[in-house]
Structure 1
Amino acid sequence: MTTTEATPSTPPMQSAVERLVFEIRALIDNEVLRVGDTLPSERELCERFSASRNTVREAMRVLKAYGLVDVRPKVGATLIDNRMARALDLFSFNTIEISRKTFTDIQGFRTLIEVNSVDAMFEKLNDKHLEVMGRANEAMRKASTVSAASEADFAFHVGLMRILDNAALLEIYRIMKPVIIGIMEKGKSRHDFRTSTYGQHAEIISALRQRDRISYQYALQFHLNFGYGTFGEAR
């Protein structure tokens, strides 16, 4: 591919760096490069796209920030796929006011996954899963701060999700972590988590161990709805 071939479809850019980022991504697509492949050297990119060395370096920094390349001395730029991780990093900076509507929406989504997937969980559940969840619950009970307790609480529910052995669901929970942690922290600031949340978790573990479908769904649904009144009305 030549630079002139990409020019007609190139969207208007505000800088040489943005234009070069677009052209490098077009190069990746047109040459069907895959994860692990190496991009042309810095000098080759300069010559190929008539760009300065500084422009190429800045474009590489942008692609690295996107999670598309890993740049190493004497190796050059290698294609990777950390786009999801970069998206999660950006999401973690997002702050969201947790209203009752937010609480209801998030917990409703979690109900669809955590409560309604009970049959699939029972098929894949093993003692290791229960052990991991039990340790997280103990860590929450022993936590000295609301923040530490909320991290342990989140770990408990991630342990629950790990039973399903579904990487996509785990990624979704990682994306939602800032909001879920916010819900947990607000709830724990109003209730004694060492008795209320710990006891609710223990009931969930017990129902899982006994493969008791009804008890599991009841205990988890109660747990997810606990603290509903703590959150204000949506604005």
Structure 2
Amino acid sequence: MTDSKSETSPSEGEPRLSAVDRLVEDLREMFARRSLRVGDALPTERELGEMFGASRNTVREALVVLRAYGLVETRPKVGAVLASGHGEALRRLFSFHDGISPGEFRDVQGFRRLIEIGIGEDILKRAEPADFDALDRVNDRILKAETSTARAQADYAFHEALIALGANRTTLTTFRFLRPVIEDLMRVGKDARPVQANTHETHREIVAALRAGDRLAYAYLMSRHLDYGLRFVPGPRETD
């Protein structure tokens, strides 16, 4: 088995990730740290491998993921360059100029429900007590967040860590693809109700249901959690 398929042990507050997933996150952090602009050339595959201690295959797979995100594209005679990014395009697509309507909110939450409730069975099959301990530590971050943006980022981190426990890279990549949109929606809710303790307690209950191996309780709690934010969405409430 190559290192592109291996998993790293969970560090403080972090779920286990494959070498490819970890490199994708490292590369995204590098883009931000270096303040790279659209069109800037990236280091070669060999150079990236040396920088991050990754094999050539791992680097190539990570670049494939970043191309799927729309963050990287290949240009003749130049190689890999930073692209405009589907994430920003999605943010513009879901930029609700007249406020977020209940219908639009339901569309995004419906997508999340399919993923986050559906992943429950896979989590219960694969996760170990240590994984739930790490998930609790991720959840604790929201209590230390001081702004609505920081709270939204901490909230998203919990849900991403939860999905990562399902060990389905396609599902995790799809969820990360919508991160700008999901965080924007989370931030709207937290602007309306800056009570992160409530979110933290709900997350704690979700983790407790997983610890108990109670799939039905997990599905109920997650569904209730995803529906709760609707009351803070501006505009007339839709009926079911």
TM-score normalised per structure 2: 0.60
Counterpart of 1:68 (choices 73, 83, 89) is: 73
Identify the residue that residue 223 of structure 2 maps to in structure 1.
Answer: 221
Query: What letter corresponds to residue 204 of structure 2 in structure 1?
Result: A
Distance verdict in 2 for CA 1:121–1:66, change over 3 Å: closer
Distance verdict in 2 for CA 1:87–1:126, change over 3 Å: same
Identify the residue that residue 96 of structure 1 maps to in structure 2.
Answer: 95
8 Å contact 2:105–2:230 — kept in the other structure? yes
8 Å contact 1:207–1:213 — kept in the other structure? yes
Q: How many residues align?
A: 167
8 Å contact 1:88–1:174 — kept in the other structure? no
| SS of residue in 1 equivalent to 2:78 | strand
Which structure is larger by alpha-carbon Rg, 1 or 2? Answer: 1
Query: What letter corresponds to residue 87 of structure 1 in structure 2?
Result: H
| SS of residue in 2 equivalent to 1:165 | coil
Query: What letter corresponds to residue 108 of structure 1 in structure 2?
Result: G
| SS of residue in 2 equivalent to 1:211 | coil
Deviation at 1:89, TM superposition (A): 4.8
Offset from partner CA, 1:130-185 (integer Å, 9 cap, x none):
23321221110111111101100000000011012222222222221122112211
Identify the residue that residue 87 of structure 1 maps to in structure 2.
Answer: 86
Query: What letter corresponds to residue 88 of structure 1 in structure 2?
Result: G
Query: What letter corresponds to residue 230 of structure 2 in structure 1?
Result: Y
Distance verdict in 2 for CA 1:69–1:144, change over 3 Å: same
Offset from partner CA, 1:26-78 (integer Å, 9 cap, x none):
xxxxxxxxx96xxxxxxxxxxxxxxxxxxxxxxxxxxxx9733379xxxx634
| SS of residue in 2 equivalent to 1:68 | strand
Larger relative contact order (C-alpha < 8 A, sep ≥ 6)?
Answer: 2
Distance verdict in 2 for CA 1:105–1:124, change over 3 Å: same
Distance verdict in 2 for CA 1:66–1:155, change over 3 Å: closer
Q: Which runs of structure 2 are paired with 1:103-142 in the superposition (5 Å)?
A: 103-142=105-144
Return the alpha-carbon distance in structure 2 between the equivalents of residues 114 and 82 of structure 1: 30
Distance verdict in 2 for CA 1:66–1:182, change over 3 Å: closer
Deviation at 1:226, TM superposition (A): 0.7
Query: What letter corresponds to residue 104 of structure 1 in structure 2?
Result: R
| SS of residue in 2 equivalent to 1:69 | strand
8 Å contact 2:126–2:165 — kept in the other structure? yes
Identify the residue that residue 214 of structure 2 maps to in structure 1.
Answer: 212
Distance verdict in 2 for CA 1:70–1:217, change over 3 Å: same
Return the alpha-carbon distance in structure 2 between the equivalents of residues 167 and 151 of structure 1: 21
Return the alpha-carbon distance in structure 2 between the equivalents of residues 111 and 215 of structure 1: 14
| SS of residue in 1 equivalent to 2:178 | helix
Deviation at 1:107, TM superposition (A): 0.9
TM-score normalised per structure 1: 0.61
Root mean square deviation of aligned Cα = 3.0
Return the alpha-carbon distance in structure 2 between the equivalents of residues 126 and 148 of structure 1: 28
Identify the residue that residue 155 of structure 1 maps to in structure 2.
Answer: 157
What are the ranges of 5 or more consecutive residues in structure 1 without an aligned counterpart? 1-34, 37-64
Task: Provide the identity percentage.
Answer: 28
